[in-house]
Copies of this chain bind each other. A is one copy, B any other.
Amino acid sequence: MTRKLRMGMVGGGPGAFIGPVHKIAAEMGGKIELVAGAFAQTAERSRQAGEGFRIDPARAYGSYQDMLRAERARPDPIDFIVVATPNHLHLPVSLEALQAGFAVMSDKPATATYEEALVLQAAVETSAQPYALTHTYAGYGMVREARALCASGRLGAIRKVAVEYLQGWLSQPIERSGHKQAEWRSNPAFSGAGGCIGDIGTHAFHMVEYVAGIEVTQINATLRRVVPGRQLDDDCNAMLRFANGASGVLMASQVATGELNELRLRIYGELGSLDWRQQDPGRLTLRWADGPEQTYHGATRYLSEDAKAAFLLPPGHPEGVIEAFSVLYAEFAQTLIERQRDPASPLPPTLPGIRAAVRGMRFIERAIESDRQQAWVKF
């Protein structure tokens, strides 16, 4: 029995739904085990959280620095950390972990600012440890099918992209009445420069480049603070231009009242187009210049190998966002295992890494700059 990889979590404690999700997703593949964590900002609250996760109380630390230090000294240290804190801590935690010799799996956005992302990039490039970013939706099988389809050329040259990520949960100023998730997300000290654009706009942006395989070169964005008194943007519209001449539209909003989590990606090529919705993740719709519309279903035999590998269950058995998440963790675990044999083995191209991290932060920075100028800006 090969041992499981040992994970330490930073953040993800009381009130954060993302902590348990990380644990479940990481452990789902059977190769990772949560064994340590700096879940909260006091030793006491961290220990309580650790109890909920049923980890050894001795490994529930009061700070990530304590965790890194103590784990390095153990005979059975963690293999990697997952960064599940508010954004302002992403850089320091990731940096110190890499420097301490631990691999890093980080929540997005990668850092609080673009400048920080460049610092992180330098660190990752000189580290022996891999760095990956939890663009969770990239783990969905049908997103991988979409990606494979674009790469295959079957849609022809890509001409137009429409991506939207619409939520309505911030349509009222709930950050002022004790909603913890809303609080830090709407506070620049914790969230960084971007509000909605950073929290979900980055997902939308990543999805486009990840699936279409083309690069954004210019952006013209409008960021708004729709709810009075809000310090960060809660709504964004943007037009995009791509290196290959394609154009695009990106909408992200957290004040789209009534929307739950509507991430939708459409890509139009010369020969056909694709359409995927996160809230119906097991289907991928293809439309063709002159033939019937097709719906691809998850886990079926006609999918590409990349897509098939991302499903656990037979067709018709819905898989959700946790399963998508687990796909990223499985790839990360596989990378760590391969590194034991070959320290130069790269992340698989399907797993978002430091390049996606820097692109995402550049996107936020460029969107804000475009909004400031009320004009097109180059990427």
A: residues with CB less than 8 A from B are 1-2, 4, 17, 20-21, 23-24, 27-28, 30, 51-57, 155-156, 159-160, 162, 164, 167-169, 171-172, 220, 222, 224, 226, 235, 237-239, 247-249, 251, 253, 255-262, 268-273, 278-282, 286-297, 300-302, 312-323, 374-376
Please pick, from B30, B259, B291, the residue contacting A302 in the complex, using a CB distance under 8 A.
B291
Do residues B160 and A253 form an inter-chain contact, with CB atoms below 8 A? Answer: yes
In the complex, what residue of chain B is closest to A263 when comparing beta carbons? B316
- Pick the most buried of A162, A237, A281, A286: most chain B CB atoms within 10 A of its CB: A237
By the criterion CB–CB under 8 Å, are A239 and B222 in contact? yes
Q: Tell me, rounded to whole Å, the shortest Cβ–Cβ distance linking A259 to chain B.
A: 6
Is the Cβ of B257 less than 8 Å from the Cβ of A269?
A: yes
* Cβ contacts under 8 Å, A255 to chain B: 159-160, 268
Asked if B249 contacts A257 (CB within 8 A), the reply is no
Instruction: Find the B residue at minimum CB distance from A23.
Output: B30
Does A226 contact B159, Cβ atoms closer than 8 Å?
yes
Most buried by B among A167, A278, A295: A295
Bound CA–CA A92/B320 (angstroms)? 35
With A257-B272, A273-B257 as known contacts, state yes or no: A312 contacts B53, CB within 8 Å.
Answer: no
Q: Which residues of B lie under 8 Å from residue A160 when comparing CB positions?
A: 226, 235, 253, 255-256
How far, in whole Å, are A295 and B289 apart by their CA atoms in the complex? 14
> How many Å from the CB of A352 to the closest CB on chain B?
19
B residues within 8 A CB of A27?
27
- Contact partner of A317 among B2, B54, B261, CB < 8 A? B261
Check B290 against A301 for contact (C-beta < 8 Å).
yes
A270 with B171: in contact, given A17-B314, A160-B253 (CB under 8 Å)? yes
List 20 contacting pairs A-B, 8 Å CB cutoff, sorted by A: A1-B55, A21-B313, A155-B257, A159-B255, A160-B253, A235-B247, A237-B239, A257-B273, A260-B297, A260-B300, A261-B314, A261-B316, A278-B318, A279-B316, A290-B301, A292-B296, A292-B297, A318-B319, A374-B375, A375-B375
Q: How many protomers of this protein does the assembly include?
A: 4
B257→A248 contact, CB < 8 A: no
The answer to whether A54 and B1 touch across the interface, beta carbons within 8 angstroms, is yes
A134 to B57, CA, bound (A): 34
Q: Name the one of B28, B249, B260, B302 contacting A24, with C-beta atoms under 8 angstroms.
A: B28
A55 nearest in chain B by CB position: B1
Are B292 and A302 touching (Cβ within 8 A)?
yes
Inside 8 A of A155's CB, which chain B residues have their CB?
257
Report, nearest first, the 9 A-B pairs whose CB atoms are least far apart: A258-B287, A261-B316, A260-B316, A318-B320, A293-B295, A320-B320, A292-B294, A319-B320, A260-B315
CB closest chain-B residue, reference A261: B316
Q: A268 and B253: CB pair below 8 A? A: yes
By beta carbon, the residue of chain B nearest A60 is: B1
* Distance between Cα atoms of A317 and B171 in the complex (Å): 19
- With A249-B237, A257-B271, A268-B255 given, is the CB distance from A321 to B318 under 8 Å? yes
List the B side residues contacting A172 at CB < 8 Å: 289
A90-B328 Cα distance, complex, nearest whole Å: 36
Give me 4 other A-B pairs in contact (C-beta within 8 A), A295-B295, A319-B321 excluded. Answer: A4-B54, A21-B313, A220-B239, A257-B270
> Chain B residues with Cβ under 8 A from A4's Cβ?
54
How far apart are A229's CB and chain B's nearest CB, in angstroms? 14
A171 to B251, CA, bound (A): 24
Q: Do B290 and A293 touch (CB < 8 A)?
A: no
Closest Cβ of chain B to A256, distance in Å, is: 5
